[in-house]
Homo-oligomer: A and B are copies of this chain.
Amino acid sequence: MAPSQRVEQMNKELRKGHFLAEKDRFCAYCVVRGTSFCGMVPNEDMAQLSSQSRPLTLDRRRTLFHQGDETQSIYVVTSGTLRLYQMLADGRRQVVGFAIPGDLLGFPLADHNDYSADALDSVYLCQFPRQEFMQFLNQRAHLLGALLTVTHDELNRTREQLALISQKNAERKMAQFLLSFRGRQMRMDEEISVLPVRIPQADIADFLGLTIETVNRMLARFTREKIIAITDTGVELLNLIRLHMLAEA
């Protein structure tokens, strides 16, 4: 079964409450097992991890948590996409990333959230109360190592974004963005050529440090040149070779 189907099925069951009754099996059967922090948790710890988690649904445009608020929970995204952003002193908004299934949200050792997170579509998450999560971590040193790895990955991703945003060429920025976003999605589904989210152009703009007009013009140009196609389910990458050329040239 393809991951996306599995997600759908799991979400159905989630809504029916199946998993709530069988908590131990919850994590073991999770779709994002193997792509996230949870994937680094050995099987013998699964039951305990499951018992702490609570499924959570978040509607489009709802906020999961705000920058600066006290860190009360840690989350793992199981389905959907969120935008992560910081408000800057001058009123600008910097989108620091997009969270997709498998991503860990919230850093248990920090007292306050580093960024805000809100849903771009319907989002399903596993929620872990911070205190219990931390206890769980501290009991098992190898899990601290797993968290360290995840944090380091995020550091590297942020450095990648830095390289992206420091580009002066809007076309290249856009091409690199599409490719790197695809790269992240491929973690779940290797064959992907449609990016399954409609990210508002304003969010892409705030991610890339461009204006909405420039983002729009670039997407229009790519569409005109048949490099991408924008559908109501997301963006389809039609010509990966050209996209790579634009990204690197």
Q: What residues on B are CB-neighbors of A156 within 8 Å? A: 114
Whether A109 and B144, one on each chain, are in contact in the complex, defined by CB atoms closer than 8 angstroms, is no
Is residue A21 contacting chain B, with contact meaning CB distance below 8 A? no
Copies in the complex: 2
Is residue A148 contacting chain B, with contact meaning CB distance below 8 A? yes
Q: What residues on B are CB-neighbors of A89 within 8 Å? A: 247-248
How long is the Cα–Cα vector from A60 to B172 in the complex, in angstroms?
35
Interface flags for A116-159 (1: CB within 8 Å of B; 0: not) read: 00000000000000000000001001001101110110111011
Is residue A192 contacting chain B, with contact meaning CB distance below 8 A? no
Is residue A36 contacting chain B, with contact meaning CB distance below 8 A? no
Interface of chain A: mostly helix, strand, loop or mixed: helix
* Minimal beta-carbon separation of A143 from chain B (angstroms): 10
28 examples of A-B residue contacts, CB within 8 angstroms: A89-B247, A90-B248, A90-B249, A92-B166, A94-B159, A94-B162, A94-B163, A94-B166, A96-B162, A107-B152, A109-B145, A110-B152, A114-B155, A114-B159, A115-B159, A138-B145, A141-B141, A141-B144, A144-B144, A144-B145, A148-B151, A151-B151, A151-B155, A155-B155, A155-B158, A158-B162, A162-B162, A165-B166
| Chain A to chain B: the 5 pairs with minimum beta-carbon distance, closest first | A166-B209, A141-B141, A144-B144, A158-B158, A155-B155
